[in-house]
């Protein structure tokens, strides 16, 4: 599908009535508390433009707080630990949104954004990002094509009862998904269907809502059986097909592309490093590597823009990427496969966590450097 500058440029600009406040006009934080039952308050109203939300986790589980427009994730803050408070900055156009509130079974909150009277200065130059966005869309399309093909082969092996083949294909399919997770996870319904974990439900593995990759993963590794997995395989393939359909028509939001470089690494540092991602198959290192690949792709596309503003940052971040890649390479065999994650000692995991955390912290400043915060 040809990609033109016009739809990409349109995505860089907020709809009429939206406001991009000047840097000096820092908004007052909006407090949101998430309990085991939902959000308090359950309804919020903010003016268009930049808002800062302070999310307090008073539930018993690590959670992510998302702002949704329909099924699309507009902004999110992941890995909020019980008892902690994290902030999320979001520039919102007028309209009605929803807020996720802990467990998937909890009711969603409502967020109303009202139009503001004036247009303030501070918007980034939209033309500067057109080229990187177009190149990234091509990369995402290539990866989603490969993802759909591998997922089709994976689900066919599951339905045929071919456990060894299905296990091999599981890792291959997820590799393509993890590279483009910042875009794939924009669609809240598909993300929760394909990549949900048992911890997102009160009944955990026994909950009927526990479906997708990790439900099948449990069957293949923990149960060593494909019994009862046919409906899950069919649903996963249907979701992968729908994901490709939506991405074809998607203009990638610039803030999501730029912020995705950090988001991919932050998730590894915050939660995946514990081994909670692929807890049955122990293929976590393959996911880590794919996350780093996807993050580096974004960084490489943005390198010319960022170099003009902060060459020292580019040099430092490149060094940090190389360090993380070298550490992961220690656990990779000649055939490209990675060691099972449970073979790594606590010392090995800590050796990974330090450089990954440093890389995440550097990449978290990318949006600000390009005027997208």
pLDDT score of 3: 38
Reported as a single tens digit per residue, the pLDDT across 329-347 is: 999 999 999 999 999 999 9
CATH 1.20.1420.20 in the chain is located at: 134-252, 253-373
pLDDT score of 4: 38
pLDDT score of 26: 55
| C-beta pairs of 92-98 under 8 Å, 24+ apart in sequence | 92/18, 92/46, 92/48, 92/49, 92/51, 92/67, 93/14, 93/15, 93/17, 93/18, 93/48, 94/15, 94/17, 94/18, 94/48, 95/69, 97/67, 97/68, 97/69, 98/67, 98/68, 98/69
Fold of 34-115: Immunoglobulin-like (2.60.40)
Reported as a single tens digit per residue, the pLDDT across 220-245 is: 999 999 999 999 999 999 999 999 99
Reported as a single tens digit per residue, the pLDDT across 356-365 is: 999 999 999 9
| Low-confidence residues in the chain, pLDDT < 70 | 1-27, 116-126, 373
Phi then psi for residue 109, to 5 deg, are: -90, 170
CATH 2.60.40.420 in the chain is located at: 34-115
pLDDT score of 181: 94
Indicate the helix (H) or strand (E) that contains 110: strand 109-114
CATH 3.40.190.10: does it fit domain 134-252? no
As its CATH architecture, domain 253-373 has: Up-down Bundle (1.20)
């Amino acid at each position: 599908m040809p990609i033109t500058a016009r739809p990409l440029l349109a995505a860089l600009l907020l709809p009429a009535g939206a406001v991009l406040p000047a840097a000096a006009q820092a908004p007052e934080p909006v407090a949101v508390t998430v309990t085991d039952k939902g959000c308090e308050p359950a309804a919020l109203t903010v003016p268009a433009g930049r808002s800062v939300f302070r999310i307090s986790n008073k539930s018993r589980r690590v959670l992510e707080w998302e702002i949704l427009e329909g099924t699309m994730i507009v902004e999110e803050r992941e890995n909020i630990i019980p008892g902690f408070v994290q902030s999320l900055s979001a520039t919102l156009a007028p309209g009605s949104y929803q807020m996720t509130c802990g467990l998937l079974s909890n009711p969603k909150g409502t967020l109303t954004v009202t139009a503001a009277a004036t247009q303030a200065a501070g918007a980034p130059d939209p033309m500067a990002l057109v080229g990187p966005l177009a190149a990234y869309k091509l990369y995402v399309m290539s990866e989603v094509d490969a993802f759909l093909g591998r997922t089709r082969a994976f689900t066919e092996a599951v339905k045929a009862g071919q456990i060894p083949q299905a296990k091999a294909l599981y890792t291959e399919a997820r590799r393509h998904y993890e590279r483009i997770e910042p875009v794939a996870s924009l669609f809240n319904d598909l993300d929760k269907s394909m990549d949900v974990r048992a911890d997102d439900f009160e009944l955990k593995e026994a909950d009927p809502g526990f479906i997708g990759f990790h439900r099948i993963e449990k069957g293949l590794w923990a149960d060593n059986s494909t019994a009862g997995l046919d409906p899950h395989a069919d649903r996963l393939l249907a979701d992968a097909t729908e994901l490709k359909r939506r991405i074809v028509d998607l203009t990638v939001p610039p803030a999501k592309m730029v912020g995705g470089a950090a988001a991919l690494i932050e998730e590894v540092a915050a939660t995946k490093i514990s081994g909670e991602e692929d807890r049955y198959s122990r293929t976590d290192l393959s996911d880590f590597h794919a996350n780093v690949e996807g993050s580096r792709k974004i960084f490489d596309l943005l390198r010319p823009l960022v170099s003009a503003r902060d060459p020292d940052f580019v040099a430092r971040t490149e060094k940090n990427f190389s360090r993380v890649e070298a550490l992961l390479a220690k656990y990779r065999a000649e055939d490209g496969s990675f060691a099972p994650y449970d073979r790594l000692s606590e010392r090995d995991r800590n050796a990974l966590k330090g450089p990954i955390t440093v890389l995440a912290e550097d990449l978290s400043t990318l949006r600000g450097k390009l005027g997208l915060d």
